[in-house]
Amino acid sequence: MKLRLILGDQLTMSLSSLNDATDGDVLLMCEVRTEATYVKHHKKKIVFLFSAMRHFAQLLSNQGTPVQYVKYDDPENSGSLLGEVTRMATQHDISEVIVTAPAEHRLQVEMALWSDALGLPVTIREDDRFLCSPADFAAWAEGRKQLRMEYFYRDMRRKYSVLMDPDGPIGGQWNFDAENRKPPATGLTVPDTYHAPPDAITQDVIALVETQFADHFGDLLPFHFAVTREQAFLALDTFLTDRLPLFGDYQDAMIQDEPWMYHSHIGLYLNCGLLAPLECIQRAEAAYHDGTAPLNAVEGFIRQILGWREYVRGIYWLKMPDYKALNFLDAKRPLPAFYWTADTQMNCMRQCITETKQNAYAHHIQRLMVLGNFALIAGLDPDAVNEWYLLVYADAYEWVELPNVTGMVLFADGGTMGSKPYAASGTYINKMSNYCGSCRYKPTVKNGPTACPFNYLYWDFMDRNAAKLNRNPRMGMTYRTYAGMDDEKRAAISDDAQRFFKAIDRGENV
C-alpha cells in the first residue's frame, strides 16, 4: 500500500503523484500549522487554500478516490506534514510515500530527509504542471552571459507555437509592451472581478481562520475567491470576456478605489493548480483569433504566463539556495510600520497597502512601481521585504515571490533578472495613476516638506548606490543628470531624505 501526499498547491487531477494510483493506496491531504504559519499568511490566503483543498478532496472522493483529510483543528493533527505522514504510515501498512515535488526549496530540503525519518522509501516526482522544467531552464541558461526573460519567452513561444505564423510571431514582433503603458483615461468604467459566493465549506473555513489566525495580517471578509476548478474557469472566462480587451492598454494603470482594474486575478488559481497555464494561454489566444481581444492585450497576458511565470520559476530553481541571501545594494533599513497599517500620508502607498490588506491582491505595477519602488529607493532590508510580499498576497509562494522581489523589485541580485533597478520618482506614479491628486505631497515639487518623498528618495538612492550603479550602461543619463546638479541641490536632496528617514524611525506619520 502506497501513501500519496497531496500538497495544498497541488490541486490538480492530473498530478504526477496520482497518475498511477490504485484503489488500495492512501491519499493524504492535511492542513498543518507549519505551512500556515512559517510566515503569518494573509487571512484570505489561508481561507482560500484551506477551502480549495477541502473542495478538491471532496471532488476526489465524489469520483471514487477517498482522501484521508486532516483539518487544522483536528485534535490528532500533529501540526506538520512529516508528522501527518508519519501518523498515517503507522495506521496503514505503507510501503512507499509518493509526492509531487514541492514548489518551494525549503520543503524540498525537508522532504529529502523524510526517507530516513520514516524508514520508508519516499519518491518525489517531477511537477509537470509547468511548461518549462528546472532541467530545461538550466539547459537554456547554460553558457548565457545574461538570462533575460525576453529571449526565454521567444523560445517558449516557438516551443509551444503560441501566437506564431509560419514566418515568425503574429503581428511581426514578439512584444507589444510599448502599447501597454497607457495612463488611466478619464471616465474609464472598470468591470468588476469574478465573485464566488462562499458555500458551507468556505464558511466553515472562514470561522476557523477567524479563531485560529486572528493575529494574522489582512481582512477576512468579504471573501469571494473561486475555490473549485469550475469556479476558477468562470473567473478566467469573466476576465476574457469583460477585461481582456482593455487589459493591454491599461495593464500598468492605477486608479484610486479600483483595485482590480483590467487584470485577470487568476494567479492564485494557477499557482495552486486549479487552472493550468497552457489552457489559459490557449483560451486567450483563441480570443485574439476570434476577434474579441486585440493582439497587444492577448500577447501581454500570454507573456505573463508563458514568459514571466515560467522564467521566474526557472531562475528560482537555478539559483537557490544562494539566491535567497543576496543583497547587492547592502540595503538594511527595517520595514516601516505603515506597510502593515497603511498609516501614511503618501496616498499611493496608502492605497496599495490598504487594497492589499483588504484583498490579498495588488496588480503588478502596484507591487513593483509603488510598494516595491519605495522599498528599493528607501533601502529596505531584502529579508523583511521578501517576507512581507510572501505573506500578504494570495498568489505568493517563494518560487514566484522571491525572484520578483529580490530580482525585479530590489535589484538585490545585482542584475541577474533586470538590467537596471526599477527605481522611479513620483513623476511615474503621477503619470500612471490618479493617486497624486488626493495626496498631501506634490509630485511636481522636488524638495521641502510638500515634495513627494519619491522625488528626493530617488536621487538619494542614486547617490547612496553610485559606486555600484554608475557604470551601468542603462543608468549613464541618470548619473550625468545627478552630476550636473549644483551642491545646493544635492544638499537639499540629502537633507530631505535624512529628515524623512528620521521621521520613519521615530514612528511619525510620514
Band (177; pLDDT cuts 50, 70, 90)? confident
Q: Is the pLDDT of residue 175 over 90?
A: yes
pLDDT range class, residue 319, cuts 50, 70, 90: very high
What average pLDDT does the segment 459-468 reach? 97
Q: How confident is the model at residue 90 (pLDDT cuts 50, 70, 90)?
A: very high
Residues 243-275: tens digit of each pLDDT = 999 999 999 999 999 999 999 999 999 999 999
- Contact in structure between 247 and 264 (CB atoms under 8 Å): yes
Statement: residue 394 has pLDDT above 90: yes
Tens digit of pLDDT for each residue in 398-440?
999 999 999 999 999 999 999 999 999 999 999 999 999 999 9
Would you state the pLDDT for residue 9? 98
**For residues 84 and 70, is the Cβ–Cβ distance under 8 A?**
yes
Distance CA(250)–CA(55), nearest Å, equals 34
Provide the CA 203 distance to its chain's centre, in angstroms.
Answer: 26
Which residues make beta-bridge pairs with 442? 451
2-51 tens-digit pLDDT: 999 999 999 999 999 999 999 889 999 999 999 999 999 999 999 999 99
- The model's pLDDT over 340-373, given as tens digits with 9 standing for 90+, comes to 999 999 999 999 999 999 999 999 999 999 999 9
The mean pLDDT value for 475-496 works out to 96
Percent of residues in the chain assigned helix, strand, coil, to nearest 5: 55, 5, 40
Please enumerate in sequence order all residues whose Cβ is within 8 A of that of 399, keeping only pairs 6 or more positions apart, or say none. 103, 104, 105, 312, 313, 316, 317
pLDDT value of position 179: 84
Report the interhelical angle of 476-483 vs 453-464 (nearest 10°). 100
CATH number of 338-505: 1.10.579.10
Looking at every residue in the chain, the average pLDDT score rounds to: 96
Give the residue carrying C-alpha cell 521615530: 506
Of the listed ranges 165-179, 201-215, 298-312, 317-331, the least confidently predicted one is 165-179
DSSP annotation of 205 reads H
What pTM does this model have?
A: 0.96
Q: What is the pLDDT of residues 104-115, one digit of tens each?
A: 999 999 999 999
Q: Is the pLDDT of residue 383 over 90?
A: yes
Closest Cα partner for 114 from 83, 157, 88?
83
* Residue 180 reports pLDDT greater than 90: no
Band the pLDDT of 447: cuts 50, 70, 90.
very high
pLDDT score for 317 = 98
Residue 186: is its pLDDT beyond 90? no
Burial of 187 (0-12, 13-18, 19+ CB in 10 A): exposed
The residue count for the chain:
510
- Specify the pLDDT at position 370: 98
Same fold for the pair 2-125 and 338-505: no
- What CATH code would you report for 2-125? 3.40.50.620
Domain ranges in the chain are 2-125, 134-191+243-319, 338-505
Tell me the CATH number of domain 134-191+243-319, given options 1.25.40.80, 2.70.70.10, 1.10.630.10, 3.40.50.920: 1.25.40.80
